[in-house]
Amino acid sequence: MSDESIDLYLQQGMHGVRETKPDERRLFLGSLRERVIIALTKGQVLRPKAYDEVITAIESNSDAALLLNGDIDYSRFSVYIKAANKHGVPFSIVSNRESDTPLGLILVSKDAVDKQSIYVEDDIFERSKG
């Protein structure tokens, strides 16, 4: 075993296995951009009316998973959780106090989908861009 591989082995033992694209994973609630089917900002999740685009995406992607930002009150997700349960889409509430992502809800695939446009771009989205 070379010195480099021993050092890597020790580092992984002390700090865990290296994570690919950590900044991207913090932004996308633990997932990667290439797997995102659709995403809403925190402000969009707080909107009283559910987004039809998200409901449609849940209905047509039963093999996906719904990631919900744990900083947002659970009741704000109820419409999306009901749709996910109805169509067999698992959901997870992601709480990461070390990361402050602007995203509130993400529907992700197990594999890369590489969609060019993943956001619902309305006035709330535009305001969140600053």
Give residue 5's pLDDT: 76
Taking a C-beta distance cutoff of 8 angstroms, is the pair 13, 76 a contact?
no
In terms of Cβ atoms closer than 10 Å to its own Cβ (0-12, 13-18, 19+), residue 112 is: exposed
Give residue 1's pLDDT: 67
pTM given for the model:
0.83
Annotated domain spans of the chain: 21-128
Question: Domain 21-128: what homologous superfamily?
Answer: Ribosomal protein L30/S12 (3.30.1330.30)
How distant, in Å, are the alpha carbons of 5, 9, 84 from that of 41? 41, 38, 18
pLDDT, mean of each 10-residue run, the chain (130 residues): 73 69 87 96 95 98 96 95 97 85 96 93 87
